[in-house]
Amino acid sequence: MPVSEAVRRLCEDPAFWTDTVAGESGDVRVSFPVIGGYALILDVDLATGDRALGLRRPGYTEPVQLGWAPADGPYPAALRWWELDLCARVIALEDPTLPHPGLVVALLSPFAPATDDDDEPAAAAMREAAFRSVRRVVPPPPPAGPEQAPLPLFADAGWWPAPPVPSPQVIDEATIAGLTRPAAALLEVRTGSRFPREALADLVRKASAHLDQVPRESWYAETRPLARRILDTGDLAPIPALLGALTEAGCDHPTVLDALSEPLVPLEAFWMVETLTGATPGTLLRRHL
């Protein structure tokens, strides 16, 4: 089930990421189906900014809670970073409206702070790329000058200043730096008796098996040697050739093609090359850090 348009509009509001949304009230639920009937569910109270992350299991309509946090945190370590990264990749592959895992990571990463067992620089780079991927379409500015050509005296741009063009990035760099700063404290909730450890472990197993199967599909298998060369060398120059080979092999998956298309975003290309080769998530990224 693709991310709803209402949720997309909400994510395009800078206040959603930094504060409560002015004038809004009620709750919004974001559902990310992963695999095998499992889904990650994010509930947000628009008035207070409180957020809760849940796991919906196969055969159930309501999720069991993984963690809850007030607007200003601290957030619980409900997911391990690699678990979120894995699920986000599977979600993006199954949702043609998501060009990469960025939106999933941006929304859920507060619940997956990096621990001592994680590669913090790699996790931080992924989180930063995720927040930068949250963009909005900037409409063309309305005509600011006269309908007829002005006299030479009035042709200077100073007479008809163009209106300010809003940034295509919803979140500025200072905000991204704040959102991706390592958590000051980790609230461990996974040891609680109500935490769905077995269900989460089953989801992770299924998601991992699904991602491992992707390179074996026919159109990916034919292009795997080229993807492997990119992975081994860390050189992204052959990406256009990989994109062409995938297209010729019959691949029409919008997520796969978008991640490798111009304008090329290295972090987006990294995750797709890793996926096509069956490499451990983060392998190519670490070569560039």
* CA pair distance 285, 281, nearest whole angstrom: 8
- Residue 82 corresponds to which tokens in the numbers above? 């690699």
Per DSSP, the chain holds a count of helices (H) and strands (E) of: 13, 4
pTM for the model: 0.81
203 burial class (0-12, 13-18, 19+ CB within 10 angstroms)? buried
**Given this model, what pLDDT does residue 222 score?**
83
Between 91-95, 108-112, 116-120, the lowest mean confidence (pLDDT) is in 116-120
Write down how long the chain is.
289
- Name which residue leads in pLDDT, 244 or 168: 244
For residue range 189-235, what is the model confidence (pLDDT) as tens digits? 998 889 999 999 999 999 999 999 988 888 788 898 999 999 999 99
Residue 39's identity, in one-letter code, is: A
* CA pair distance 191, 196, nearest whole angstrom: 10
Question: In b/e form, how buried is each residue of 31-65, taking b as 16+ CB within 10 angstroms?
Answer: bbbbbeebbbbbbbbbeebbbbbbbbbeeeeebeb
CB atoms under 10 Å from CB of 287, counted, come to 13
**Given this model, what pLDDT does residue 1 score?**
52
Average pLDDT in the 241-249 region? 93
Between 73-77, 129-133, 182-186, the lowest mean confidence (pLDDT) is in 182-186
Average pLDDT in the 14-32 region? 74
Residues 45, 51 contacting (CB under 8 angstroms): yes
**Given this model, what pLDDT does residue 203 score?**
97
Q: Which residue has 């919803």 as its token pair?
A: 170
